[in-house]
Amino acid sequence: MRSFKYSLFLLLACLACSPSEVVYEEYIPDYSLQEKAVASLLKKHPIEIVVHRGANHLAPENTFAAAAKAIELGVDYVEIDVHRSLDGVHYIMHDLGLGRTTDGWGPIRLRTSEYIDKLDAGSWFGEAYAGEKVPRLEEYLRWIKGKAKAYLDVKTADLEEVVRLVRKYNMEDETFFWFWSDSMLEEFSVLAPELRVKINAHSVEEVMEAKEKYDADIIECNVQEITPEMVQLCDSLGIQIMAYASSNTAEEFKTVIKSEADLVNLDKPGLYLEVLQAMQGL
């Protein structure tokens, strides 16, 4: 029975992908971005800030609103997740399914852009964000260019199209990438050897493997795993270290700030700034 329901859903989705008269209207919110005073603390801060799914504690994750909140705090990168719709449009969303963060349902890969573009991706977080849309990747890159850089966690995609968009908006030096599978990474490396990739590595041995096997530009690990030996090796190989903030507590942020990480991937940029401000005695 479950197999029949899935087959029926796939059939309906394919039928919905047939040509229609619907004309897509571009969605790029006109946010009046006001940089917070504390953002100035990051300008001379040696560790670049990567905000996971945008400022997801202040606005709905993976939306323009979450990115805007992060930009106002002066972050360096906004991390986004990339999925492809049934008809080949790339969107920013974390989950495989639409149900958790929108008023839609079903796998995003089996939904058309016409369906996804109508969804509300903000009401689940709060009434103030009702009507927030699921961002299309192309519109998002065009909007964020010059405001912040982007870290793309690519989950399902036409890699040629993703590379085309990054090059179209001249963001080769303003992006880096991570992939769900080795096969996607291998394909990407052939398509765009100039674009930077991140690999998870938790030891000196894994750092060596990341460089030899994947030519990694950035490795990500827990802050406790950043040893003098790892720092020395990464320096010699031209690899940056990104600390992953797993708990996003003040104590963890203190450890990150004292570490030799080049970047930090976190969820609470506001708290990080508070800790940084306190440690600088301001």
34 token code pair = 């006001």
Q: Burial level of 71, CB count in 10 A (0-12/13-18/19+)?
A: buried
- Cβ-Cβ contacts under 8 Å for 139 (sequence gap 6 or more): 26, 27, 28
Question: Which domains are delineated in the chain?
Answer: 34-279 (3.20.20.190)
Strand partners, 152: 80, 177
DSSP H helices, the chain, are 2-16, 64-72, 113-116, 137-144, 159-168, 182-191, 204-214, 228-237, 250-258, 269-279
Residues 6+ apart with CB under 8 A from 124: 60, 100, 101, 102, 103
Each residue of 225-253: pLDDT tens digit? 999 999 999 999 999 999 999 999 999 99
State residue 3's pLDDT score.
56
Distance in Å from the first CA to the final CA of the chain: 64
Q: Looking at this protein, which amino acid is placed at residue 193?
A: P
Quick one: tokens of 21?
């008269």
| pLDDT the model gives residue 209 | 97
Looking at the whole model, is its pTM more than 0.85? yes
Stretches in the chain below the pLDDT threshold 70: 1-22, 282
Q: 174-195 pLDDT, tens per residue?
A: 999 999 899 999 999 999 999 9
Cβ atoms of residues 136 and 90 within 8 Å: yes
Q: What is the pLDDT of residue 210?
A: 97
Q: What is the dihedral of CA 272, 275, 280, 282, to 10 degrees?
A: 100
Q: Please tell me the predicted confidence (pLDDT) of residue 32.
A: 80
